[in-house]
Chain A
Amino acid sequence: MKRRGRGIACMWYPIGFTVSANPSAAVVKVNEDGTATVLTGTVETGQGSLTVLGQIAAEALGIATDDVHVVSGDTDTTPMDTGAIASRTTYVTGNAIWLAAEAAKEILFQTAAPMLGVKTSQLEAKDRKIQVKNFPQRAVAIGEVALRSQVVLGQPAIGSASWNPPTVAMDPETGQGKPFATYVYATQIAEVDVDDETGEVEVLRICAAHDCGTAINPMLVEGQVEGGISMGLGMALQEEMLFDANGRHINPNLTNYIMPTSLDMPPIEVDIVQGFDPTGPFGAKGVGEPTAVPTSAAILNAIHDAVGVRITSLPATSEKILTAIKAKRAGERKQIPA
């Protein structure tokens, strides 16, 4: 018989390395027509970081995502970057790109200020224009400013910067310190059906509410949440690398290492909770890893809610669940007085 249960789990997760320096450097070049090229040493590993970094540069320069081209991943031509790890790219590399864009923009402001008859501090970049704050009618196209900067004044609008999250080393005895500059938070709720005759679990639905600071690209955040949940589901119910008594691998293949297919995944409802972080680029933090964190707990809590058994070792295979259900029934029978 199928029994339904629901489970909730919340979590916190840091952005960046534990205490140690993990800087990123970036270069932003504004082309003579007002479009831009960004150089970053990070590597696109599928999460969409280059798109997000392009959006950050575009926002800083007041142009569109489509106007920005991001070059990445070549130690000869792109500046150092600690890399795509620890969910740090949007936050750390993003901040480096933002700072580099601000530096390039400052050169543009210095060119535009006399064109518009104001001080540089009165200027902002918006809608592909350099315009006066609170008086946008007085404006000049960013392309015109960039061209003038480079070919008339001889000041190409190139900015370069690096950024490292500020931390405080942890005391070796007590661990007290500030190991990370920021954290993200999330909750996932899972609804499951457990077949109490086979121990099989069907995950019916997952609701995920994730903080990522400002969501630079909500579609990509959803993609990370959905992907992370698939890893969490695999961890909860299916995946395990097995070794024999001699330390040799038993299942080094995808036939016997079970991981989620499209048939295993439930519908996922994603809510992005925007916990604006002033230390991040436009308030952004990060989201790559947190998405895989609370899923196992939510599913295992749901199993407990459904059939009253607490599995304390992962993965919660159907064998383990069935064994636990049987043991629980046996225990209950013993308690009934004869």
Chain B
Amino acid sequence: MTDVTMIVNGQTRSASVPPETTLLQLLRDNFNLTGAKLGCDVGDCGACTVIVDGMAVNSCLMLAGQVNGRSVTTIEGLATRDRLHPIQKAFEDNGALQCGYCGPGAIMASKALLDENSDPDVRDIRDALSGSLCRCTGYSKMIEAVQEAARVLRSEERNQITHART
């Protein structure tokens, strides 16, 4: 058995699991965070995408032990009681999710992009989403949603800077 401790969505979580347990299994079965999905279990579809130490990863390809001591953000860590994350709001307003199964993965991939690049062009967005397979939407509305979220996040940042100055 492997003991693991990590920060998940800002909270310290621990578990004792068989060594072959993947990060995806740890999140879903042990931490009850069922947002990340099992689509193929071999890293082809991106439905399991989460952010580990700032990087979007396929959680089905990482062992729980490899994430020991690191910081993980899942879909459940984006919204607060008062506020949807702008990416979630933009996906909702643009009808970017249909069956929703690929949604958490695609949204986390988008977040990783926007955390690094606050003004991505369409090519950048397509690249960032290329690991997230979607059979329902054709990706069009996802791309519009990411562009809208980027605009909102940029203006929020400008407002914060303005407030900080005053």
Residues of chain A whose beta carbon lies under 8 Å from any beta carbon of chain B? 45-48, 219-220, 222-223, 226-231, 253-255, 259-263, 265, 267-268
Contacts and interface: CB of A to CB of B under 8 A. Distances in A.
A228 B132 CA distance: 17
A45 B99 contact: yes
**Most A-side CB within 10 Å, residue of B99, B131, B138:** B138
Given A46-B136, A48-B98, A262-B132, A223 B42 contact: no
Given A227-B138, A261-B139, 17 more contacts: A46-B98, A48-B98, A220-B95, A222-B141, A223-B137, A226-B139, A228-B138, A230-B135, A230-B138, A230-B139, A254-B40, A254-B42, A254-B45, A260-B138, A262-B129, A262-B143, A265-B138
A254 B98 contact: no
Query: 6 smallest A-B Cβ distances: which pairs?
Result: A46-B99, A226-B138, A254-B44, A230-B138, A262-B129, A46-B98
A231 B98 CA distance: 15
Contacts of B95: 48, 219-220, 222-223
B66 interface: no
B147 to A, nearest CB: 13
Contacts of A219: 94-95
B130 to A, nearest CB: 5
Contacts, number: 77
Contact of B44 (A226, A229, A255, A267): A255
A47 B129 CA distance: 21
Contact of A262 (B40, B42, B98, B142): B142
A229 B42 CA distance: 27
A253 B44 contact: yes
B40 A268 contact: no
A261 B40 CA distance: 15
B137 A227 contact: yes
A254 B44 CA distance: 6
A255 B43 CA distance: 9
Contacts of A47: 98, 136
